[in-house]
């Protein structure tokens, strides 16, 4: 019990000492550079000051310095709430290792690390001060110099005697007493019975080695060894004499034809023939003319040329959403009066498809201006174009249009719906 009370008392005395210093640290100074950071004791106006650390002792003007490695540092400073002068300032400065370029601007002339936080957003919390959260130019707490202790006042009157304390715990049992002296030796007892026979003795030493036996028969021959490695090649022989010259070969093929010569001069214009056609020529043929088997014949629409109104024109139109690379807010978006029919005649819908920047759940649906659905169901867009199934309404009348309904899933950054149409001209 006494030992427990002693330990508790030592811990109680140690608690104030634990709070006399704080740890100042940071993990990102000067964009991950290497260098040094220093904290010089000073008054609020930046003038250097000596001070007494919490708990007393000899005054000091020592500047505390720590290395910055990849933007991180840590060092121990006194709790300025407990220094003398009280609320001492530290002027913080830093420089880069390779260039001596300053790492801290103005606003660090009165840094006051402290153990007890002033609020939940304070840069010091329970003795851990995150320098990355320190706001420069914060108004410092005024430095307070403690004056000399005043004279002791007169002794006050004796207080009333307090009530008697509770009875203390029972003391521990006393140590055992010493043993008494040994008694006298008693008379010798009768002889005991004869014991059983002892165990057999150890084996004797080994006798000399016998004569060597006869030599056994020879063993079978071992298997043949593997073939040895090939020897190195001999030196190359001398080059033989040059053979006789061969017979002359056959003649080569004829060369390519030469370039065409220049065009001759234009011949004179011949006399007008008997079959000349002019605006005065009469004919029973109506429409376009063509040459056929050496004669003039009527050209047929659809065979010799496209008939008027039979040439199709494919026209795509589209609607979509885009949020500059950020996700489109989840929701339903109606894009009205697209793909207007301004051509004066009905056009046909040949296909509807949808695409999105992700393969999520964004959808596209289409209806005409009369609220007729143009799809059997909404298309779920993907990062590859997805074609929808058209409904029974496959045309848009003159003056009509379509409305696109896009449902964004909250993750797509772009959603496009495309409808292709065809009309004749």
DSSP 25-48: EES-STTT--EEEEEEEE-TTS-B
Which is more confidently placed, 145 or 188? Answer: 188
pLDDT of residue 30: 73
Lowest mean per-residue pLDDT among 8-17, 18-27, 176-185: 8-17
For domain 19-133, give the CATH number. 2.60.40
Which is more confidently placed, 258 or 62? Answer: 62
With beta carbons less than 8 A apart as the criterion, state whether 275 and 296 touch.
Answer: no
Contacts of 114 (CB under 8 A, 6+ apart): 22, 79, 80, 81, 124, 129
165: tokens are 């304390």
CA distance 97 to 129: 24
68: tokens are 């910055």
For the chain, percent of residues with pLDDT exceeding 70: 68
3-class state of residue 405 by DSSP:
strand
For 420, other C-beta atoms within 10 Å of its C-beta total 16
pLDDT of residue 315: 76
CA distance 102 to 214: 99
CA distance 190 to 3: 58
Note the Cα 194 to chain centre separation in Å.
92
CA distance 371 to 210: 120
Distances (CA, A) of 391 to 316, 319, 374, 382, 395: 18, 19, 5, 21, 10
pLDDT of residue 13: 39
Distances (CA, A) of 271 to 140, 275, 425: 116, 12, 44
On average, the pLDDT of the chain sits at: 79
C-alpha dihedral, 292 to 297 to 299 to 300, nearest 10°: -100
Q: What share of the chain is helix, strand, coil (3-state, %, to 5)?
A: 5, 30, 65
Provide the b/e sequence for 203-234 (b: ≥16 CB within 10 Å): eeeeeeeeeeeeeeeeeeeeeeeeeeeeeeee
What is the Cβ-side half-sphere exposure of residue 264, based on CA atoms within 13 angstroms?
Answer: 2
Taking residues 303-328, report their average pLDDT. Answer: 77
Taking residues 39-63, report their average pLDDT. Answer: 86
CA distance 104 to 93: 6
Strand-by-strand arrangement of the 379-380 sheet: 331-338, 402-408, 363-368, 379-380
Taking residues 39-50, report their average pLDDT. Answer: 88
pLDDT of residue 387: 97
Q: Peptide bond preceding 85: is omega within 30 degrees of 0, i.e. cis?
A: yes
Predicted TM-score (pTM) of this structure: 0.33
CA distance 415 to 321: 5
Query: pLDDT tier at 2 (50, 70, 90 boundaries)?
Result: very low
Render pLDDT for 329-358 as a digit per residue (tens, 0 to 9). Answer: 999 999 998 999 988 899 999 999 999 999
**Range with the largest mean pLDDT of 151-160, 164-173, 359-368:** 359-368
Strands (E), 108-256: 124-125, 128-130
pLDDT of residue 359: 92
Whether the predicted pLDDT of 20 surpasses 60: yes
Query: pLDDT tier at 266 (50, 70, 90 boundaries)?
Result: confident
CA distance 106 to 293: 100
How do the domains of the chain map onto residue ranges? 19-133, 312-424
3-class state of residue 137 by DSSP:
coil
With beta carbons less than 8 A apart as the criterion, state whether 368 and 346 touch.
Answer: no
Whether the predicted pLDDT of 288 surpasses 90: no
With beta carbons less than 8 A apart as the criterion, state whether 366 and 402 touch.
Answer: yes
pLDDT of residue 163: 67
For domain 312-424, give the CATH number. 2.60.120
Concatenate the DSSP letters of all residues of 194-231 into one string: PPPPPPPPPPPPPPPPPPPPPPPPPPPPPPPPPPPPPP
With beta carbons less than 8 A apart as the criterion, state whether 405 and 364 touch.
Answer: yes
pLDDT of residue 73: 94
Query: pLDDT tier at 136 (50, 70, 90 boundaries)?
Result: confident
For the chain, percent of residues with pLDDT exceeding 90: 38
């Amino acid at each position: 019990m006494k030992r427990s009370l002693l330990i508790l008392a030592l811990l109680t005395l140690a608690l104030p000492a634990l709070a006399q210093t704080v740890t100042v640290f940071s993990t990102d100074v000067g964009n991950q550079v290497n260098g040094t950071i220093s904290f010089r004791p000073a008054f609020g106006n930046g003038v250097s000051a000596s001070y007494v650390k919490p708990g007393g002792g000899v005054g000091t003007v020592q500047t505390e310095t720590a290395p910055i490695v990849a933007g991180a540092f840590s060092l121990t400073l006194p709790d300025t709430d407990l220094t003398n002068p009280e609320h001492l300032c530290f002027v913080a400065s830093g420089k880069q290792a390779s260039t001596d370029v300053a790492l801290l601007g103005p606003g660090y002339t009165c840094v006051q690390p402290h153990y007890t936080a002033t609020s939940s957003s304070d840069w010091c919390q329970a003795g851990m001060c995150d320098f990355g959260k320190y706001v420069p130019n914060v108004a410092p707490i005024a430095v307070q110099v403690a004056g000399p202790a005043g004279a002791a006042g007169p002794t006050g009157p004796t207080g009333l005697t307090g009530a008697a304390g509770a009875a203390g715990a029972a003391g521990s049992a006393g140590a055992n007493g010493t043993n008494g002296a040994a008694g006298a030796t008693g008379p010798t007892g009768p002889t005991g019975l004869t014991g059983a026979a002892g165990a057999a003795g150890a084996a004797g030493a080994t006798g000399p080695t016998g004569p060597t036996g006869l030599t056994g028969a020879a063993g079978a021959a071992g298997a043949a060894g593997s073939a040895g490695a090939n020897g190195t090649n001999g030196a190359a022989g001398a080059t033989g004499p040059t053979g006789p010259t061969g017979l002359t070969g056959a003649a080569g093929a004829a060369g390519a034809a030469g370039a065409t010569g220049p065009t001759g001069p234009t011949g004179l214009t011949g006399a007008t023939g008997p079959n000349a056609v002019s605006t005065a020529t009469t004919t029973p043929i109506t429409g376009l003319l063509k040459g056929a088997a050496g004669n003039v014949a009527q050209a047929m629409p659809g065979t010799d040329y496209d008939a008027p109104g039979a040439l199709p024109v494919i026209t795509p139109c589209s609607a979509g959403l885009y949020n500059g690379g950020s996700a489109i807010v989840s929701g339903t978006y109606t894009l009205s009066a697209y793909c207007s029919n301004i051509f004066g005649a009905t056009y046909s819908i040949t296909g509807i498809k949808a695409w999105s920047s992700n393969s999520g759940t964004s959808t596209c649906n289409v209806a005409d201006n009369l609220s007729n659905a143009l799809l059997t169901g909404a298309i779920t867009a993907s990062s590859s174009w997805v074609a929808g199934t058209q409904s029974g309404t496959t045309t848009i009348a003159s003056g009509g249009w379509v409305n696109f309904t896009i449902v964004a899933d909250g993750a797509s950054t772009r959603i496009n719906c495309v409808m292709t149409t065809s009309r004749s001209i």
